[in-house]
Structure 1
Amino acid sequence: MTPQLSRSLGVLHLERGVPSGAAPPKPAPGSMLNSATFEFPTIFETVTGAWVENVVRGDPALEPSFIAAARRLVERGAVAISSTCGFSIRHQPAVAKSTNVPVVMSSLLLLPALLRQLPASAKIALLTYDSTHVAEDLLGVDDPAGRARIVIGGIEGGKFWHDELKRPPPPIDVAAIEKDVAACIERLCIAHPEIAIILFECAAFPLVSPAIRRITKLPVYDITDLCRLTMASIA
């Protein structure tokens, strides 16, 4: 029987196609899957059938798998639940309803609060793995004035985007993520000089958060920040 861990963050992990018995690739520094990323223990459960492609696209048939994996994490001692894909916010209500712990599936949950940090003239750049699948209902912002202040950019078509659609995907290329994200932000900031905050939707983007903060000199928020806030609130 797996021993329970004290105050663990439970992370719902997408399928990576690692053969049974094979060691998964070592997570890069800053990854949600790297034990050194957080100051508290983390435990993981793979969501059966949840690959990047069908989670990003939005497959409602995955909901039972998300719920089952979240319940397994709670049984193992998780006191909060997150995930390795921001698009899994589609399953936030179902997972929250099915567990008795705080659930923060995506950094997109931060959007309404971040808008209130800024004056009404300022904008937020939302950087995503694939902007073509960021539907309005995922943003959680109903006010038209607030929505107009959210500028969405994606890295679809880039190397990381292509890599993550493979089954199994290759080891994460951090340099490729930084290149694509930096280029996207540059385009957005030229078009929208009012941008004052950057929010990363993709749970792989924390790998380059420090670099992007240095390049842009702007606040950059990601899923790891939301996880730390949530865990800090739990006794």
Structure 2
Amino acid sequence: MTSPTSPSLGILTLERGVPPGATPPTPAPGSILNPSTFNFPTIQEIVAGAWVENVVPGDPTLEPAYIAAANRLVERGAVAISSTCGFSIRHQLAVATAVNVPVVMSSLILLPALLRQLPQRGKIAVLTYDSNHLSEDLLGIADPVDRARIVIGGIEGGKYWHDELKRPAPPTDVKAIETDVAACIARLRAEHPEIAVILFECAGFPTVTSAIQRTVKLPVYDITDLCRITMGSIG
């Protein structure tokens, strides 16, 4: 149990289209938004105008809204900032510049460190909500040798992909995520048997991390791991 004065993780959330006064769906177990996921408290602020359909492909006009929401979290006592969408890494630098706390907007921040964990022949599979929009600049890997060790797969077109575009977004279908993610991993491993680690870009995928770990028998990292590392460093 954490005390009310325990340091809080601030989470920047996307718009979900929940009508005013309505109760949003309960976050699934393992979700970054589920209170039971962490052993520290979390607080949330919605990034005004940030929907899946404009955050995933990228919208530079959202930067002021990200900064404003991050500042509200810090004012409320957040000692670190994260987000509910890995594609928010586009605003990593702007938010980190605007607030005086650690900022970890996406699990993609882990990618350079994970590459160093593996032998040169080992590859990392990055699983994303939509591989069409996971551009090279978001990976943060300049070395072509390292880049060749990264393979990307997405679940675009699947049920979860469609659900997240709805307004309001329906309750998370964890089974659908697991089915689509498992199928994507199977395809990637068939093409790249050297895959030794899996990194979930999508902040919705932690709901299936444990199930996928049991299935694929490989290390799986997600945004909640990065949040725990960051909060653990603060004490």
Q: Distance in 1 between matches of 2:168 and 2:36?
A: 25
List runs of 5+ in structure 1 lacking aligned partners. Answer: none
For residue 167 of structure 2, give the secondary structure of its aligned residue in structure 1: coil
Output aligned runs, 1:55-134, within 5 Å: 55-134=55-134
Deviation at 1:5, TM superposition (A): 4.8
Question: TM-score scaled to structure 2, two decimals?
Answer: 0.97
Counterpart of 2:192 in structure 1 is 192
Q: How far did 1:147 drift? A: 0.3
Partner of 2:146: 146
The answer on whether the counterparts of 2:25 and 2:170 sit within 8 Å (CA) in structure 1 is no
Q: Secondary structure at the match of 1:213?
A: helix
Whether contact under 8 Å (1:5, 1:77) holds in the other structure is no
Distance in 2 separating the partners of 1:33 and 1:18: 15
Percent of pairs with identical residues = 76
Contact kept, 8 Å, 1:196 with 1:218, in 2: the verdict is yes
Paired letter, 2:53? E
Asked if the contact 2:9–2:80 (Cα under 8 Å) also holds between the matched residues in 1, the reply is yes
Q: Which runs of 4+ in 1 moved over 2 A?
A: none
RMSD of Structure 2 on Structure 1 (CA):
0.8
Check conservation: 2:18, 2:167, Cα contact below 8 A.
no
Cα distance in 2, alignment partners of residues 206 and 11 from structure 1: 15
Q: In the comparison of the two structures, how many residue pairs are matched? A: 232
Counterpart in the other structure of 1:212: 212
Q: Which residue of 2 aligns with 1:135?
A: 135
Three-state SS of the structure 1 residue aligned to 2:22 is coil
- TM-score with structure 1 setting the length: 0.97
- In structure 1, how many angstroms separate the alpha carbons of the residues matched to 2:18 and 2:143? 43
- Structure 2 gaps of 5+ residues are none
Deviation at 1:185, TM superposition (A): 0.1
Residue in 1 that maps onto 2:180:
180
Looking at structure 1, the residues matched to 168 and 24 of structure 2 have their Cα atoms a distance apart, in angstroms, of 11
Q: Name the SS for the 2:12 alignment partner.
A: strand
